[in-house]
Amino acid sequence: MNCAVIVAAGRGNRFGSQIPKQFVEIGGKPVLIHTLERFENCAAIDEIILVLAAAEIEGFRRLLQKFDFSKLKKICAGGDTRAASVFEGVKNASAQTQIFVIHDGARPFVKDSEITQTIEKAKEKGASCLTAEVTDTIKEVDEKGSIIRTISRESLRRALTPQCFRADILRKAFASVENLSATATDECYLVENAGFQVAAVKGSAQNIKITFPEDLAFAEYLLNRSADFSSDAPNNF
Ligand code: CTP
Ligand code: MG
């Protein structure tokens, strides 16, 4: 059983809108609905747990009445940090879960093949992370803002989601963390720190996380460009 935990309990401070960015509409539907559709339509996903801020659960349930998400089994309240929100989702998943598929609610352009390949890699290796290449030249700077050196980007990757884990590994990683309010911005970090290897899976630069207001224009463009994101349209970027 593969369980997607979709975390959407953040405030979206960098986005800066009145309503959190995951509820902002693109193509006439909230970002989060697009994300849920990707997972609902993926054959490799058996169950979805959605994590929302407690105050938003009731309103989103009302909105969900317009849609039919048969795999959405539970909506639970998140925590102060992303890791705390993921932990709530994991606790609320079915005991039969073998692979956890952790995904950002604000990342609506994930492809079916990206979800499936990341799950397959986690089944094989225990833990996997969808990644993208780094295309800019990377500089390390000191506290005064002066460049200290240039870091070779060949071995660098950006961590995307989904990040997939065998259930026992993810539970051990959470058990090893004393304070979930600390700095982890993804689950791989927790799993790496607990001593497990995480396999990188090649993903697409189109799998963007809506972070800043300007990301919306690109999101609308991506939506218009391909009406069917569950298919694997060639990557023209
Ligand atoms: N998230 C969450 N619970 C939190 C913080 C974040 O569920 N306490 C979710 C967000 O809703 C988002 C995903 O984790 O779908 C990725 O986080 P990010 O892009 O950082 O979103 P926010 O934390 O909402 O944005 P910001 O950091 O700009 O405030
Ligand atoms: Mg954040």
Residues contacting 38, CB < 8 A, separation 6+? 108, 109, 110, 111, 112, 115, 229, 230
Q: Phi/psi at 88 (nearest 5 deg)?
A: -65, -45
**pLDDT, tens only, 171-206:** 999 998 877 776 677 889 999 999 999 999 999 999
Torsion angle in degrees (nearest 10) through CA of 209, 193, 85, 180: -130
How many angstroms is it from 82 CA to the middle of ligand 2? 7
Name the residue of 7, 86, 183, 207 whose CB sits within 8 Å of the most ligand 1 atoms, as the mutation to test its pocket. Answer: 7
152 DSSP assignment: P
Query: Angle, to 10 degrees, between the axis of helix 31-40 and the axis of helix 112-125?
Result: 60
Cα gap 220→231, rounded to integer Å: 18
Give the residue from 155, 150, 148, 147 showing the smallest Cα distance to 137: 150
HSE-up (13 A, CA, CB side) for residue 192: 12
Structure tokens at 128: 């996997």
Q: Which ligand is nearest to the CA of 160?
A: 1
How many angstroms is it from 146 CA to the middle of ligand 1? 30
Name the residue of 5, 6, 11, 32 whose CB sits within 8 Å of the most ligand 1 atoms, as the mutation to test its pocket. Answer: 11
Of all atoms in ligand 1, which is nearest to the CA of residue 86? 7
Residue ranges, the chain, pLDDT below 70 = 182-183, 227-237
Residues with CB under 6 A from ligand 1: 7-15, 22, 51, 78-82, 85, 104-106, 209, 211
| Residue having the nearest C-alpha atom to atom 26 of ligand 1 | 12
The pLDDT score that the predictor gives to residue 236 is 40
DSSP one-letter string for 1-30: -EEEEEEE----TTT--SS-GGGSEETTEE
